Structure 1
Amino acid sequence: MTNVTIATHNGNFHADDVFSIAALKHIFPSFKLMRTRDVALIEQADIIIDVGGEYNPDTGRFDHHQRGGAGKRENGIPYSSFGLIWQKYGLAICNNSQEVADSVDAGLVSVIDAIDCGHVEGVAQGISLSHTISLFNPTWQEDGDFDRCFDEAVSFAERVLSRFIATATGGISAKEIVAKAIENAQDPRVIVLEKYTPWKRTVHSLSQQALFVVYPSETGQWRIQTVPVELGSFEDRKPLPKAWAGLSDAELQAVTQLSDATFCHNGLFIAGAKSFESTMKMAEMALAEN
């Protein structure tokens, strides 16, 4: 579809209408945006967002302010206009990956919907992305142009949405790589990755035996890292040897008898050596430690 006209309300804006426009920029290479409360102009638009009192995705109507709203998710979070847009276009925006689209909905879209609809249960307190978007509005002391500020907020939201999609895509790809590494591990207690890949969530979901993960760092050296007892925990399934705590270079080399050992964190959750072979020997020593 070309020459698309999209309408939303003018004046003060919120995260749901801002992110809706940001999302649609992934779908339509160009469109005419009208920010207005003029009913006659709104009704002429191809897509209407956050205004108009109607939800009908087949006719491009995406409002949620009508009596009864526009539905809610299985977890009880109601849809704002952003969620309604995401229901229709999210899969296409995420290159037809339902897993990525669902991840972005869970981490971004549904949170914005919840805040916009006043469904605050389970939503973290403090400075939110929705609040951040609201800060783009001119204050009562400023002679700001709401439309210009809206465009600035949309540009910011475009970048945020793109990063959420990239992060979700990376996380799903990482899951496949780490799952394969768990399957191929010679010792199920030591998972070896050929390159650094986010691993904690997958290791926790797929392996109860894994104690250490070995991977190369961006410097070309190698790392051994402990597996925490649960996500976000500072307690490990098995810490590194106490004798290594806080040592580096010559001191650590003397204790380990490894000529290229480089460091061990004082918290005993990560250590390293220059070579893969030495790092695997560190894993052997850590496994043997009582």
Structure 2
Amino acid sequence: MAESIPKRLKTEPISIGTHNGHFHADEALAVYMLRLLPTYKSAQLIRTRDPALLKTCHTVVDVGGEYDEGSNRYDHHQRGFDTTFDNRPTKLSSAGLVFKHFGKPIIAQNMGASEDAEEVDSVYKKLYTDFVEALDAHDNGISAYDPKAVSTAGLEKRFDEGGFSLGAMVGRLNPSWNDPVSTDPAEAQKAEDEKFVIASQRIGEEFSRALEKLTKSWLPAREIVHAAYAERLKHDPSGRIMVLSGGSVPWSDHLYTREAQDGTDSKVLYVLYPEKPVPEAKWRIQCVPVSRGSFESRKSLPEAWRGFRDDKLDEISGIDGCVFVHAAGFIGGNKTFEGAKAMAVKALQ
């Protein structure tokens, strides 16, 4: 497969420049992504804010006050910078800039496909919104919700999730204020750089896992979900029950996309699938969330069923073979497909 973007690059030796001092998730990921490509695989890393040294670097990320694809400069801190990913509102960080320009070659290389393949483009867009965009927002100080709207609504956080992010993970790998520091500037910089390399590898591993999950699991599930959607009327005349006979696959994204393309007002409410791809497997009934990432269901399972199991649930529901219904009402189970379908049909009423 041709690596089209790096064909523009200069000759060896290749060096990647970024700033020294306290490091962040965006440049840690930017450096990792570049090093996935053959051109940068053995690139030297130079961490400095010295303009003279940065000028010698082949590619510079997150420092230098310049965004210029032609000269491989990918900073986002300069006044007036407002570049975003295609059809997304979030201002890019160095991670987003590198992904915008090098994401397709990285994905195409991983998939063994052409950069202009439709599958590559699908993964490219999905990987940005699922992984990279949150890092862009975090580095640019953009909240997931409009702070004014949150304040007007009187909403308060139930807990602090600040430490539960990739940005926080990278932040914890920075040297602490009271760590011993060598009096030799070169040794001190070397120690700091070593910590940055660890951080870049750590966040990069998560990026690679996300990419692998999309290419090996999410993308192949698309055809399965679309086929099940096309056959949904066999299970419910109004199309509110969808059956994934082959097992549980990542279905929600593909279902929402297919519904949007279809433009129907009759949305799928329940998805049925076997727990395992074997004939004797138990079946699950799962409620479709109102939107991507929501914990609210379009139509929850009946309140009277929630929190009950086995024979007691059989008695309450009037359906044989029940296994459970979650106390929150978003998922349940039955010993057979017929039983799970009966639960879905009755829940529709």
The TM-score with structure 2 as length reference comes to 0.69
Whole-Å Cα distance in 2 between the matches of residues 269 and 201 of structure 1?
17
The answer on whether the counterparts of 1:248 and 1:264 sit within 8 Å (CA) in structure 2 is: yes
Deviates more, 1:113-122 or 1:189-198: 113-122
Whole-Å Cα distance in 1 between the matches of residues 143 and 318 of structure 2?
56
Q: Could you say what secondary structure the match of 1:162 adopts?
A: helix
- CA separation of 1:122/1:227 partners in 2, compared to 1, >3 Å: closer, same or farther? closer
Stretches of structure 1 lacking an aligned partner (at least 5 in a row): none
- CA separation of 1:123/1:35 partners in 2, compared to 1, >3 Å: closer, same or farther? farther
Per the alignment, residue 178 of structure 2 pairs with: 141
- CA separation of 1:214/1:43 partners in 2, compared to 1, >3 Å: closer, same or farther? same
**Is it true that 1:150 corresponds to 2:196 in the alignment?**
yes
The answer on whether the counterparts of 2:319 and 2:339 sit within 8 Å (CA) in structure 1 is: yes
**Is it true that 1:216 corresponds to 2:310 in the alignment?**
no
Per the alignment, residue 198 of structure 1 pairs with: 250
> 1:133 Cα shift?
1.8
**Is it true that 1:42 corresponds to 2:42 in the alignment?**
no
**Is it true that 1:104 corresponds to 2:147 in the alignment?**
no
- Give 1:25's match in structure 2, choosing from 35, 42, 55: 35
Per the alignment, residue 16 of structure 1 pairs with: 26
The answer on whether the counterparts of 2:300 and 2:329 sit within 8 Å (CA) in structure 1 is: no
> 1:151 Cα shift?
1.0
Whole-Å Cα distance in 1 between the matches of residues 289 and 298 of structure 2?
4
Q: Could you say what secondary structure the match of 1:197 adopts?
A: coil
| Counterpart residue type for residue 49 of structure 1 | V
> 1:154 Cα shift?
0.5
**Is it true that 1:116 corresponds to 2:139 in the alignment?**
yes
The TM-score with structure 1 as length reference comes to 0.81
Whole-Å Cα distance in 2 between the matches of residues 266 and 122 of structure 1?
28
> 1:75 Cα shift?
5.0
The answer on whether the counterparts of 1:3 and 1:30 sit within 8 Å (CA) in structure 2 is: no
Q: Deviations over 1:76-97 (max 9, x none)?
A: 5333322221121011122241
- CA separation of 1:23/1:213 partners in 2, compared to 1, >3 Å: closer, same or farther? same
> 1:142 Cα shift?
0.8
> 1:49 Cα shift?
1.8
Per the alignment, residue 277 of structure 1 pairs with: 338
> 1:149 Cα shift?
1.0
- CA separation of 1:94/1:263 partners in 2, compared to 1, >3 Å: closer, same or farther? same
Alignment of 1:30-109 (within 5 A): 30-69=42-81, 71-72=83-84, 76-95=89-108, 96=115, 97-109=120-132
- CA separation of 1:210/1:120 partners in 2, compared to 1, >3 Å: closer, same or farther? closer
| Counterpart residue type for residue 160 of structure 1 | E
| Counterpart residue type for residue 182 of structure 1 | Y
Alignment of 1:239-258 (within 5 A): 239-240=301-302, 242=304, 244-253=305-314
Q: Could you say what secondary structure the match of 1:262 adopts?
A: strand
**Is it true that 1:183 corresponds to 2:230 in the alignment?**
yes
